[in-house]
Structure 1
Amino acid sequence: MSKKRLDDTSKFLSYVLRHEPQAIGLQLDSEGWAGVDALIEGAARDGRQLTPELIAEVVASNDKKRFALSEDGQRIRAVQGHSSKTVSLQLAEQQPPAVLYHGTATRFMDSINENGLIPGARHHVHLSQDMTTAEAVGQRYGKVVILKIAAQDMQAQGFKFYQAENGVWLTDQVPVGFIETLL
């Protein structure tokens, strides 16, 4: 399987499983699950050829572990990053590490300094346990800025944290007072 085919399929899966399932007539349940057969049928109507084997390879090879297959291989979902209003992941609240990180671009800093971190179209703000991951995320948007988040201080003030299956930390927002700019 070519890397390009895997990458293209991963981007397509991100689009339909996180943001626009209706674009291919796909229905997600409240936890974001969709039937693999329904995904393949919807993709075919959109002119894309998917197979169960291709989908399984994308899930297994995705470096960010964005997707999960059910144990029987019949259902698939994105593990976080949803903007679809039909999905409401029921994640258990977790004790975060003392510090988490967020990678962004310098062009967003005026807004962040004024409003803190807000989820935008997504359901949650995404945070990383290490600076390397945060930097990789931030590079997608321009000149990188790494933000250090006082996660346990936030939790002590009543903010809730969740951890997705792929290790990404999620919270509803990060107020300005809990953010320190590192780079």
Structure 2
Amino acid sequence: MSTTEADLSRLVSHALRHQPWLYELELDDEGWVQIDQLVEAICEQGGEWASVDRAALEKMYATATKHRHEIDGDRIRAIYGHSIPGRIYRRRAVPPSRLFHGTAPESWAVIRSEGVIPMGRQFVHLSADRETAELVARRKSAGPVVLSVDSAAASAAGISFYEGNEVVWLADQVPAQFLAVVD
């Protein structure tokens, strides 16, 4: 295979997060698809993708620095980042007492009054640590604003949280009263 694991990860993310219909994939309610179906869909892309097999997917999964996908037996799914129509079902989880969200300064003015909403995704993405939130926000701004989320209070108030992976947490939304700028 001449593609890298990073290239394969991007293609798998596109297929499972954003446009599964382009690959003729049907995700179940939790976003799962059979690995063999995904491999077949990737191979049908032709060119360098024609040689992708299950071993290549498993290597991509095993060597990933950011765990964006999950394999369970003969199934695979994207853990977070979905922009597909319809809602991916997630099981509620108890979050750490504090989470973080990075944003651009111009977005903070809106967030201050409306809270954090998913925008084009199904869920708000939160980080388990300040450093990750800042890194994510730097993609949009050289001078990001990092917000602290009082996730314990938000959860107690009925806000749903879902575990993404070891550094990413998801929420339906986070009202402004649970946010504070980190100095």
Q: TM-score, normalised by structure 2?
A: 0.87
Offset from partner CA, 1:31-68 (integer Å, 9 cap, x none): 11112221122223323332211111111112121111
SS of 2:96's partner is: coil
Q: Structure 2 vs 1, CA of residues 115 and 89 (structure 1 numbering), >3 Å: closer, same or farther?
A: same
Which residue number corresponds to residue 135 of structure 2?
A: 136
Amino acid in the other structure paired with 1:111: V
Query: What are the equivalent positions in structure 2 for 1:54-93 lying under 5 Å apart?
Result: 54-71=56-73, 74-91=74-91, 93=92
Offset from partner CA, 1:57-82 (integer Å, 9 cap, x none): 111112121111123xx221111222
Which residue number corresponds to residue 38 of structure 1?
A: 37
In the alignment, the residues of structure 2 paired with residue 131 and residue 16 of structure 1 have an alpha-carbon distance, to the nearest angstrom, of 30
> CA shift at 1:87, angstroms?
4.9
Q: Structure 2 vs 1, CA of residues 40 and 94 (structure 1 numbering), >3 Å: closer, same or farther?
A: closer
Which residue number corresponds to residue 149 of structure 1?
A: 149
In the alignment, the residues of structure 2 paired with residue 36 and residue 101 of structure 1 have an alpha-carbon distance, to the nearest angstrom, of 33
Runs ≥4 residues deviating over 4 A: none
In the alignment, the residues of structure 2 paired with residue 132 and residue 6 of structure 1 have an alpha-carbon distance, to the nearest angstrom, of 25
Are the aligned partners of 2:128 and 2:166 in contact in 1 as well (CA < 8 Å)? Answer: no
> CA shift at 1:101, angstroms?
0.4
Query: What are the equivalent positions in structure 2 for 1:172-183 lying under 5 Å apart?
Result: 172-182=172-182
Which residue number corresponds to residue 117 of structure 2?
A: 118
Amino acid in the other structure paired with 2:136: V
Of 137-146 and 121-130, deviating more is 137-146
In the alignment, the residues of structure 2 paired with residue 86 and residue 118 of structure 1 have an alpha-carbon distance, to the nearest angstrom, of 17
SS of 2:4's partner is: helix
Of 100-109 and 173-182, deviating more is 100-109
In the alignment, the residues of structure 1 paired with residue 171 and residue 148 of structure 2 have an alpha-carbon distance, to the nearest angstrom, of 14
Segments of 5+ residues of structure 2 without an aligned counterpart are none
Are the aligned partners of 1:29 and 1:86 in contact in 2 as well (CA < 8 Å)? Answer: no
Amino acid in the other structure paired with 1:100: L
Are the aligned partners of 1:28 and 1:86 in contact in 2 as well (CA < 8 Å)? Answer: no
Q: Structure 2 vs 1, CA of residues 87 and 55 (structure 1 numbering), >3 Å: closer, same or farther?
A: farther
In the alignment, the residues of structure 1 paired with residue 87 and residue 39 of structure 2 have an alpha-carbon distance, to the nearest angstrom, of 20
SS of 2:139's partner is: helix
> CA shift at 1:166, angstroms?
4.2
Q: TM-score, normalised by structure 1?
A: 0.87
| Identical amino acids, percent of aligned pairs | 36
Which residue number corresponds to residue 161 of structure 2?
A: 161
> CA shift at 1:121, angstroms?
2.1
Offset from partner CA, 1:106-161 (integer Å, 9 cap, x none): 24223322321001122211111211121222122222221101111112222122
SS of 1:140's partner is: coil
> CA shift at 1:167, angstroms?
4.7
